[in-house]
Amino acid sequence: MRRAITGMGLGAAVLAGGVLLAAPATAASSGSDFSVTFPGEKPATAYHVENTAGVANGRITAKSVVSWEILEDQVIDNGTRFSSFKITARLESRPGKDSADVVETSRTCDLTQLVNDHYTWLLNDPVNTCTAPSTIYDGEVFWSADSTIVYDIEGDGKGPVTQELLGSPLVHG
């Protein structure tokens, strides 16, 4: 279990590094890992979300890339795992470094079909990326990207689960 999460984190870091190198201006990223255990014999799965705030052409954007990997080598039950799996990417600002965040823009992306159709997804593609609308960059403000996933496991009877994720480091200047 530990190896799968570590490998996935390393892969995401390499992908994020590519994004950082390709950015024409400033970008800041951070990642979060969590795992989900399903009822029955569906494979437990580790999820990684990379939140990135990036500045290009005078605008700032927040994006969240979701990747995942099963923690077991064999899939016994290939039934539906989620009745819902949605991520909300948020572009947040604050007037001072220690001020409270204010949501500037956000977008909710429904990844239910994608995560149900693929046991593992380690690519950085548009289909697993949720991007909040960009806004004009103000270097006097502190900016960050943040996200939340809300998922509902099929057949567990517990209802939706909210997974708060680690926001990106602040972009400023």
Residue 67 has, within 13 A of its CA and on its CB side, a CA count of 24
pTM: 0.84
Check residue 40 and give its pLDDT: 87
- pLDDT for the residue numbered 13: 39
Q: Cα(32)–Cα(103) distance, rounded to whole angstroms?
A: 20
pLDDT computed for residue 73 by the predictor: 78
What parts of the chain have a pLDDT lower than 50? Answer: 1-24
Query: How far apart (Å, rounded) are the C-alpha atoms in residues 16 and 95?
Result: 27
DSSP string, 54-87: EEETTEEEEEEEEEEEESSS--S--S--EEEEEE
Provide the pLDDT for residue 109: 98
**pLDDT for residue 25:** 58
Question: Hey, which residues does 134 pair with through a beta bridge?
Answer: none
Q: Would you state the pLDDT for residue 92?
A: 98
pLDDT in tens, 46-57: 999 999 999 999
pLDDT of residue 9: 44
The residue among 120, 11, 12, 122 whose CA lies nearest residue 72 is 120
Task: Output the pLDDT for position 10.
Answer: 37
What pLDDT is recorded for position 59?
Answer: 97
